[in-house]
């Protein structure tokens, strides 16, 4: 009787573990199932409106630490991934990967050219938020926050977001990949008044 | 060398002599090339100096399982209160890590083609990286990193591949590694040598690679082994990382 009971307890425990592992694995399949490694398309120029369009396709999609691949179904297809784990393979970019792709930059830091990356192209790029803050890389320069306009960015050591619109009260609507619990969206932010943030511009806009 | 007299001693007349001389000559050339080849294969091509110009030395113990010449990097641990003006730590705190409020001890490291500072404050881990290559706007540091700590640990190695390069312009990668309990030495394979880092102050070790960066794919790989105080191999692995956050 005791042996049977132990067996049952063991079986139930093993089954629960299996279900839990399966459930957690479910959230890590987005990149493996959907993303690609296609080459980017070089483009001769980019506009701020064009980059806004690129950014808006990622709106309502997910967030992935170290990631850079999303679709455009307005759903986070891998919610609840563990935070700050680059290996979970979920949907979305992180803040710097999102900025890199929207600014259509090169993986080579010495190249300031324009590269159109597909939404489902899994690419993060070489920069982290602090690189953007310091203007690291040929395409990126720092500028005063007061001079920052639409699709320039405000960056700190830990985060970067692009200006979608300026509000009359001095705050900004920032389009950003915010975090695993929030995904990618537009939020009103006070980065412009935060001393830990600086202004960053992608050079070479045609308009 | 012992083969030379044999070839030199051949005295076959006529066409044979020509052939004989030819073959001797070829033999001599082959021996010479062989000697050069042998010399090349046993030459110690490991770096003789570290990035600060000081002489490179071997680690104090034999590092098990490392076949290339091992070069010991320099490490200096200094209490925050004792940081001297002009030191690497002071320059890091005046520069890239100026927002940090360090506590405890700071670790300065000098490698073959790298210099780093690692420090910790309440918000996390801060670091400054330097390399021999050119950098934008003559910045003092080619890179810097910050990593939040969760329960005292990093969740990813905070790879930096964006700003640092070798003297000939190849991109370098820098990353933090938390060594296994009991590990005293961390070894990173570099082309032709192995760079040995000593664990210090309980902080993650900032390592670099001169050849592991893959620009396409924005990632870097480090071939690593960890060893105890006697040099015994504890584990060997490849760390592949991407920039994050």
Q: Would an 8 Å CB–CB cutoff place A124 in contact with chain B? A: yes
- Per-residue pLDDT at A27: 60
The whole-angstrom separation of Cα B118 and Cα A60 is: 37
- Flag if B162 and A108 touch (Cβ within 8 Å): no
Kindly determine whether residue B156 and residue A94, on different chains, have CB atoms separated by under 8 Å. no
DSSP label at B82? G
State pLDDT tens for residues A8-52: 666 555 554 444 444 444 467 999 999 999 999 999 989 999 999
A38 touches chain B (CB under 8 A): no
Give the HSE-up count for residue A163: Cα atoms under 13 Å, Cβ half-sphere: 27
- For residue B121, what are the β-bridge partners? B124
Per-position b or e across A18-31, b if 16+ CB within 10 A of its CB: eeeeeeeeebbebb
In the DSSP assignment, the letter for residue A73 is S
Q: What is the pLDDT of residues A71-86, one digit of tens each?
A: 999 999 999 888 888 8
Q: Which of A104, A129, A126, A141 is nearest to A179 (CA)?
A: A129
Whether B163 sits inside 8 A of A109 (CB atoms) is yes
Contacts of B201 (CB under 8 A, 6+ apart): B77, B104, B105, B106, B107
- What is the number of other CB atoms lying within 10 angstroms of the CB of residue B202? 13
Contact A157 B99 (CB under 8 A): yes
pLDDT confidence of residue B96: 82
d(CA A176, CA B170): 32
Query: DSSP state, B138?
Result: G
A2 has pLDDT over 60: no
Query: What pLDDT, on a 0 to 100 scale, did the predictor assign at position A198?
Result: 97
Q: What is the pLDDT of residue B8?
A: 33
For residue B233, give the nearest of B175, B167, B187 by alpha carbon.
B187
CB proximity under 8 Å: A 80-99 to B: 83-86, 94-96
The mean pLDDT of A142-148, rounded to a whole number, is: 97
CB nearest to A131's CB, from B99, B156, B162: B162
> Chain A closest CA to B102's CA: distance in Å?
16
* Beta-bridge partners for B135: none
Chain A residues 125-144 within an 8 A CB cutoff of chain B = 125-131, 134-137
Q: What pLDDT shows up at residue B221?
A: 98
**In chain B, which residues have their Cβ closer than 8 Å to the Cβ of A198?**
none
CB contact under 8 A, A129 and B245: yes
What distance in Å separates the CA atoms of residue B149 and residue B123, rounded to the nearest whole number? 8
Give yes or no for a contact between B96 and B141, defined as CB atoms under 8 angstroms apart: yes
- Of the candidates A37, A96, A107, the beta carbon closest to that of B245 is on A96
Give the pLDDT of residue B198: 98
**CA distance to partner chain A, nearest, from residue B244 (Å):** 4
Whole-number pLDDT of residue B233 = 98
Neighbouring residues of B174: CB distance < 8 A, sequence distance ≥ 6: B114, B116, B127, B129, B143, B145, B159, B160, B161, B164, B206, B207, B208
Q: Which residues lie closer than 8 Å to A98 by C-beta, 6 or more apart?
A: A55, A58, A68, A92, A176, A177, A184
Long-range interactions of B99-102: CB distance < 8 A, separation 24+: B99/A157, B99/A196, B100/B126, B102/B126
Residue A120 neighbours by CB distance under 10 Å: 18
Structure tokens at B154: 């990093």
Which chain B residues are within 8 Å of A101, Cβ to Cβ? Answer: none
CA distance A90 to chain B (A): 14
* Interval A87-111: pLDDT, tens: 899 999 999 999 999 999 999 999 9
- Which residues does chain B have within 8 Å of residue A131's beta carbon, measured at their own beta carbons? 160, 162-163, 243
Q: Chain A window 5-34: which residues touch B at a Cβ cutoff of 8 Å?
A: none
Contact between chains at A130 and B144 (C-beta distance less than 8 A): yes
pLDDT by 10-residue block (mean), chain B, 245 residues:
31 34 45 43 77 97 97 98 96 89 96 98 95 84 92 94 95 97 97 97 97 96 98 98 96
Residue A16: the pLDDT is 47
Q: What is the DSSP letter of A42?
A: E
Q: pLDDT: is B4 or A1 the higher one? A: A1
* A24 min Cα distance to partner chain B (Å): 18
CB pair distance less than 8 Å for A84 and B242: no
Between B158, B243, B245, which is nearest A126 by CB? Answer: B243
ipTM for the complex shown: 0.82
Q: Which residues of B touch A (CB under 8 A)?
A: 96, 99, 136, 139, 144-146, 148, 150, 155-156, 158, 160-163, 171, 215-218, 241-245
Cα-flanking dihedrals φ and ψ of residue B94, to 5°?
-85, -20
3 state DSSP class of B14: helix
CB contact under 8 A, B136 and A128: no
Kindly report, residue by residue over A117-141, the tens digit of the pLDDT: 999 999 999 999 999 999 999 999 9
Average pLDDT, stretch A51-55?
A: 97
Mutate to test the interface with B, among A101, A157, A195, A197 (most CBs of B within 10 A): A157
B156 vs chain A: nearest CA distance in angstroms? 7
On average, the pLDDT of chain A sits at 90
């Amino acid at each position: 009787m005791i042996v049977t009971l132990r067996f049952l307890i063991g079986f139930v425990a093993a089954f629960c573990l299996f279900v839990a592992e399966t459930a957690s694995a479910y959230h890590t399949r987005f990149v493996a199932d959907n993303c690609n490694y296609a080459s980017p398309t070089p483009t001769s120029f980019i506009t701020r409106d064009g980059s806004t369009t690129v950014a808006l396709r990622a709106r309502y999609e997910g967030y992935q630490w170290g990631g850079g691949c999303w679709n455009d179904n307005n759903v986070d297809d891998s919610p609840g991934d563990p935070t700050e784990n680059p290996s979970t393979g979920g949907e979305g970019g992180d803040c710097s990967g999102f900025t890199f792709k929207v600014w259509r930059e090169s993986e080579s830091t010495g190249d300031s050219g324009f590269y159109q990356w597909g939404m489902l192209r899994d690419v993060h790029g070489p920069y982290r938020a602090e690189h953007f803050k310091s203007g690291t890389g040929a395409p990126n320069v720092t500028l005063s926050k007061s001079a920052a306009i639409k699709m320039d960015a405000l960056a700190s050591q830990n985060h970067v977001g692009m200006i979608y619109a300026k509000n009359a009260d001095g705050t900004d609507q920032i389009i950003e990949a915010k975090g695993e619990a929030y995904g990618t969206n537009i939020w009103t932010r006070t980065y412009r008044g935060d001393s830990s943030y600086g202004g960053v511009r992608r050079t070479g806009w045609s308009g | 060398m012992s083969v030379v007299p044999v070839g030199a001693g051949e005295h076959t007349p006529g066409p044979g002599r020509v052939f004989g001389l030819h073959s001797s000559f070829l033999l001599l050339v082959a021996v010479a090339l062989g000697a050069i080849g042998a010399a090349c294969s046993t030459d110690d091509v490991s770096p003789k100096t570290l990035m600060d110009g000081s002489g490179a030395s071997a680690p104090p113990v034999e590092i098990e399982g490392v076949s290339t010449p091992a070069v010991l990097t320099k490490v200096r641990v200094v209490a925050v209160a004792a940081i001297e003006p002009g030191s690497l730590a002071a320059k890091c705190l005046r520069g890239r890590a100026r927002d940090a409020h360090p506590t405890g001890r700071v670790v300065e490291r000098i490698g073959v083609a790298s210099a780093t500072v690692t420090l910790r404050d309440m918000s996390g881990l801060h670091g400054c990286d330097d390399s021999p290559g050119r950098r934008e706007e003559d910045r003092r540091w080619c890179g810097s990193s910050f990593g939040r700590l969760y329960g005292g640990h990093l969740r990813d190695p905070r790879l930096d591949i964006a700003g640092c390069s070798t003297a000939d312009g190849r991109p370098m990668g820098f990353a933090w590694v938390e060594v296994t309990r009991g590990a005293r030495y961390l070894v990173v394979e570099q082309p032709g040598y192995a760079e040995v880092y000593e664990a210090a102050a309980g902080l993650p070790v900032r390592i670099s690679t001169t050849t592991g960066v893959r620009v396409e794919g924005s990632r870097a790989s480090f071939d690593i082994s960890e060893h105890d105080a006697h040099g015994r191999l504890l584990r060997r692995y490849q760390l592949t990382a991407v920039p994050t956050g």
